[in-house]
A and B are shown apart, each in its own frame.
Chain A
């Protein structure tokens, strides 16, 4: 099994705060891996660090067994795309113009799109169901539509690895599943490796092959959804007593209720 990412003794954080330290972790190629954990546990920091948006402080990240340090940022952009948590673009920009931005790492002539560029943009529009508003301006889109357009921009980058930082935030229930279904389809039909951060553990369990559970900068447990969504791990990671059953429709574990643990229960 090839690895998409392998981290050795990785430390990262912000100017005066170390968020995690000495992390050793591998993420498999061709799978959907989701990082879960409470607020401030370092899941977004981890995603940003392996996506080189945030500079690591120590250690090595291997991207498909190549030391990321030795790759130029443009070379990395051909291998992995990141959908950040709060992307911003001017409202006057048209949907297909934004998606064309995703072609940047592949472009030689900056002022003209090649046939290949146009084909990839078309594909990204199709996969994300955004064809119908391709020539609309971003300001005219709803939150759900806009999120799919951003996803399309990341897809136009034509990478085998996709990093998604809470792609369902601010979306209503139906639109959340819409985005996750697109992600699932990308993995199953197109062999994309997906690494994402999700808040909803039920979504994480339903759409992932692997879960990484973090708490306070430490990886508490990794494994399949069945291994992670159990009372014991939920208590350690989220400090909750979770009631879990299997959803007969999807055959994945679901947390249907929980209580916050008090000091005395521990």
Chain B
């Protein structure tokens, strides 16, 4: 029985990796100017390097694909954790206000510091590396606020969690908007583009700034994913099994806040990936979370690379922010889930 389940998982993972490769290939070769496979391969393998191709691939397209994939992985995993600990299939970092909290913190950061540090090279590196930390502080603050309102009788009330999440979400959203309107025109533009959830100004510094968080927290939630299986029981049974429920929930929540913040700090608020990826993953590999977790991560990556490719090409030469593309796909999917859960 176990070997069959793991064979399914391996097949699914292989197909997803191929899909991601395929999407990356489309993304690499298409754009403002198209390149052939040979051009791309030659550039990547350093055969007859061509400075023009180098620039396009290494400075523009590749970091963008890597960022899309990493953000997808982060949101996919965070979504699994949040849906697991809230026992609510419609939970998503976006709906819970964690995105908005992290977003507001990053806008505050842009508002107060950004314009001062762009001049010196090293400090601009520093400022970008600081963004995930700011995002994390904001995301944690949002999470702390949501939790302090959602606590009842010393334990988390999941209905209240969702409701306060929605309130916190719009509160922080308003704060971000307010601050961005007070910025100068240039900062405003970059903040607005960033808030819509876009990665087209991705660069390698972003990758460096988020990768450690993603690796660390991703590994942690993967190790803890077995707990999410038990979290499908009702609370009395979980406690009876000897699981320190509130403590484990809190640790997992903080880890997912960290993941989301790292993603938001480089890509802005991208909703629905954390909602869709876990659902699709569960349909593919069942409800064992040690399988759901990696599959959801890969689905997130796949969706985001594809969405970014669509956003880049459909209205070329102008671009659609990837967050908007995801929403266009995500909203009908969300409604579909709602209708299905009613039936």
> Are B234 and A88 in contact (CB-based, < 8 A)?
yes
> Are A92 and B243 in contact (CB-based, < 8 A)?
no
Most buried by B among A48, A52, A73, A154: A73
Q: DSSP class of B's interface residues: helix, strand, loop or mixed? A: loop
Per-residue 0/1 for B217-252: is the Cβ within 8 Å of any A Cβ (1 yes, 0 no)?
Answer: 000000000100110111111011111100000000
> Are B243 and A90 in contact (CB-based, < 8 A)?
no
A78-B286 CB under 8 A given contacts A87-B234, A101-B230: no
B211 contacts partner chain A, Cβ-Cβ < 8 Å: no
Number of interface residues of B (CB under 8 A): 22
> Are A48 and B236 in contact (CB-based, < 8 A)?
yes
CB distance from A115 to the nearest CB of B (A): 15
In the complex the two chains form, what is the Cα distance from A86 to B243 in whole Å?
Answer: 19
A105 contacts partner chain B, Cβ-Cβ < 8 Å: yes
A104-B242 CB under 8 A given contacts A93-B287, A110-B226: yes
Interface residue from B226, B232, B240 paired with A84 (Cβ < 8 Å): B240
> Are B242 and A73 in contact (CB-based, < 8 A)?
yes
Task: For B229, list chain A residues within 8 Å (CB).
Answer: 101
CB distance from A182 to the nearest CB of B (A): 18
Residue ID in chain A nearest B236 by CB atoms = A84
A81 contacts partner chain B, Cβ-Cβ < 8 Å: yes
A87-B237 CB under 8 A given contacts A111-B226, A111-B290: yes
Residue ID in chain A nearest B239 by CB atoms = A53
Per-residue 0/1 for A71-97: is the Cβ within 8 Å of any B Cβ (1 yes, 0 no)?
Answer: 011111110011011111110110000
Number of interface residues of A (CB under 8 A): 35
Interface residue from B153, B234, B239, B244 paired with A86 (Cβ < 8 Å): B234
Task: For A93, list chain B residues within 8 Å (CB).
Answer: 232, 287
Interface residue from A72, A75, A89 paired with B233 (Cβ < 8 Å): A89
> Are B237 and A104 in contact (CB-based, < 8 A)?
no
CB distance from B237 to the nearest CB of A (A): 5
Interface residue from B235, B244, B286 paired with A73 (Cβ < 8 Å): B244
Residue ID in chain A nearest B227 by CB atoms = A110
> Are A77 and B242 in contact (CB-based, < 8 A)?
yes
Task: For B235, list chain A residues within 8 Å (CB).
Answer: 53
Interface residue from B153, B233, B239, B243 paired with A88 (Cβ < 8 Å): B233
Per-residue 0/1 for B58-94: is the Cβ within 8 Å of any A Cβ (1 yes, 0 no)?
Answer: 0000000000000000000000000000000000000
Residue ID in chain A nearest B87 by CB atoms = A88
Task: For A15, list chain B residues within 8 Å (CB).
Answer: 152-153
Task: For B239, list chain A residues within 8 Å (CB).
Answer: 52-53, 73
> Are A101 and B233 in contact (CB-based, < 8 A)?
yes
Residue ID in chain B nearest A84 by CB atoms = B236
In the complex the two chains form, what is the Cα distance from A102 to B239 in whole Å?
Answer: 11
A81-B233 CB under 8 A given contacts A93-B287, A111-B290: no
> Are B287 and A157 in contact (CB-based, < 8 A)?
no
A253 contacts partner chain B, Cβ-Cβ < 8 Å: no
Per-residue 0/1 for B272-305: is the Cβ within 8 Å of any A Cβ (1 yes, 0 no)?
Answer: 0000000000000011001000000000000000
Task: For B152, list chain A residues within 8 Å (CB).
Answer: 15
Task: For B153, list chain A residues within 8 Å (CB).
Answer: 14-15
CB distance from A157 to the nearest CB of B (A): 7
In the complex the two chains form, what is the Cα distance from A105 to B238 in whole Å?
Answer: 11
> Are A82 and B234 in contact (CB-based, < 8 A)?
no
Residue ID in chain B nearest A150 by CB atoms = B237
Task: For A225, list chain B residues within 8 Å (CB).
Answer: none
> Are A77 and B234 in contact (CB-based, < 8 A)?
no
> Are B234 and A101 in contact (CB-based, < 8 A)?
no
20 more contacts with CB within 8 A, not counting A77-B240, A86-B234, A90-B287, are A14-B153, A15-B152, A53-B235, A53-B240, A72-B242, A78-B242, A81-B240, A84-B234, A84-B236, A84-B237, A84-B240, A87-B234, A89-B232, A92-B286, A92-B287, A93-B287, A102-B241, A104-B242, A110-B226, A154-B240
Task: Return 21 A-B CB contacts under 8 Å, by A number.
Answer: A14-B153, A15-B152, A53-B235, A72-B244, A76-B242, A77-B240, A77-B242, A78-B242, A84-B236, A85-B236, A86-B234, A88-B234, A88-B237, A90-B287, A92-B286, A93-B232, A93-B287, A101-B241, A104-B242, A105-B241, A111-B290
> Which residues on A are within 8 Å of B, measured CB to CB?
14-15, 48, 51-53, 55, 72-78, 81-82, 84-90, 92-93, 101-102, 104-105, 110-111, 135, 153-154, 157
